[in-house]
Amino acid sequence: MKVLVIGGGGREHALVWALKKCRRVDKVYCCPGNAGISGLAECINIGTDNIRALVDLVKCEWIDLTVVGPEVPLGLGIVDVFEREGLKIFGPSQRAAMLETSKVFAKDFMRRHAIPTARYKVFTSYPQAEEYIRLMGAPIVVKADGLAAGKGVIVAATHEEAEDAIRLIMADRVFGDAGDKVIIEERITGEEVSFMVFTDGKAIVPIPTSQDHKRVYDNDKGPNTGGMGAYSPAPVVDKAMEETIMETIMRPTISLLAKDGIKYKGVLYAGLMIREGKPYVLEYNCRFGDPEAQALLMRLDSGIVDIFLAVYDEALEAATIKWKPEAAVAVVMAAGGYPGDFQRGKVITGLESIKEPDGVCVFHSGTAFDGGYYATSSGRVLTVAALGENISEAKDNAYQAAAKIHFEDMHYRKDIAMRALKYTG
């Protein structure tokens, strides 16, 4: 069969890599892809927001299944369009994707259905938001309502930082229309975890836990990014906690969406904070996390295309999904200046020294070919993912591989997965 992956980052490289391992898959396409993906799939330069062109490609090439990687096409309703055209696609509908595309929709949904989350207020007025911050003080969390490439959530430690966040989002419009509304909510402290499930709208199958690292620098310093690294499993979630999350958050979310007339099919991701033994939802995402996917898919021991088809066919309950017992750690290597103005066109060396049979994969996030060499083309450039018997070994394997790679002014966090070691030693 033929499969199309939509997107061009590290998550999509990992999805293509996993699909290529499936015996049923004869060919993989990727739109637009990147230089690394082009070694595994036929990359076609169609933007993720050009839904009409993507439909035409699928029909022209007789592609059997489309897998949506990023959030933007989901928010544009790509799944609805494909299904009207009679084309198979993996991902939630436009209405279901509002859990991610509108933080106000998500927070109101959680409040209406008593799903545990932080207390909050919504503002469309810049002066009113400023006044509320003056009354509430800090620390406090400021969120742009719409999509902001993972950077629209600002944890303000001081009153001044909160005011700066409001100004950036609502006055300076750094996230464009995503800042038409803002949420100001209490800051919940604890242990953060990424919890994902596969669901066909009825059956819900948990994916192994993982933990992202959003801040750009070690020890969670600096501004938020799209993600600087991840590991799996997250030891903070034991079997009892997993069942609590399923019972109080994941199952209610799917069933209550259905009661609201929204069938959710695909991957549902809940970014959680565990505080005093209780999970709270920080945000929903409607697709695999990036870089969580790069770690998680290293651990998958089943054919991923079979899972996607089971979700599409609403036959997930009968599917068998296996995961490797090893741990995985993924380290993102970023361009100089990221997450601000970053550098492009820097030649990457050392990739040829890393061999996949060693349990290490390098997933390309932002690369292009320049004069026959791989070169940087985006802020997050590569993700080095490695397996190990435990998190400590996986971490060592990932960093040993990362040390072999070089491009001018690259930077990456040196503490990915360190917080897990307090549980595992």
Residue 110 within any structural domain of the chain: no
Helix (H, G, I), strand (E, B) or coil at 294: helix
Indicate whether 243 and 346 sit together in one domain: yes
Q: Please name the residue that has the structure tokens 């994969």.
A: 361
Token pair recorded at residue 6: 């939509």
pLDDT value at residue 244:
97
Structural domains in the chain (count): 3
Indicate whether 176 and 207 sit together in one domain: no
Residue 203 C-alpha from the chain's centroid: 22
User: Mean pLDDT lowest for which of 100-109, 130-139, 213-222, 360-369?
Assistant: 130-139
266 falls in which pLDDT band (50, 70, 90)?
A: very high
424 falls in which pLDDT band (50, 70, 90)?
A: low
Other C-beta atoms closer than 10 Å to the C-beta of 254 total 22
Whether the per-residue pLDDT at 425 is higher than 70: the answer is: no
Which residue range is the domain that position 31 belongs to? 2-91
Indicate whether 144 and 222 sit together in one domain: no
If we measure between CA atoms, which residue out of 9, 16, 7, 67 comes closest to residue 41? 16
Kindly write down the DSSP assignment for every residue of 77-96, as one continuous string. Answer: THHHHHHHTT--EES--TTT
Q: What does the pLDDT look like over 86-141, one tens digit per residue?
A: 999 999 999 999 999 999 999 999 999 999 999 999 989 888 988 888 888 889 99
Give phi and psi for 272, each to the nearest 5: -115, 155
Indicate whether 419 and 355 sit together in one domain: yes
Residue 59 within any structural domain of the chain: yes
Indicate whether 386 and 289 sit together in one domain: yes
Residue 114 within any structural domain of the chain: no
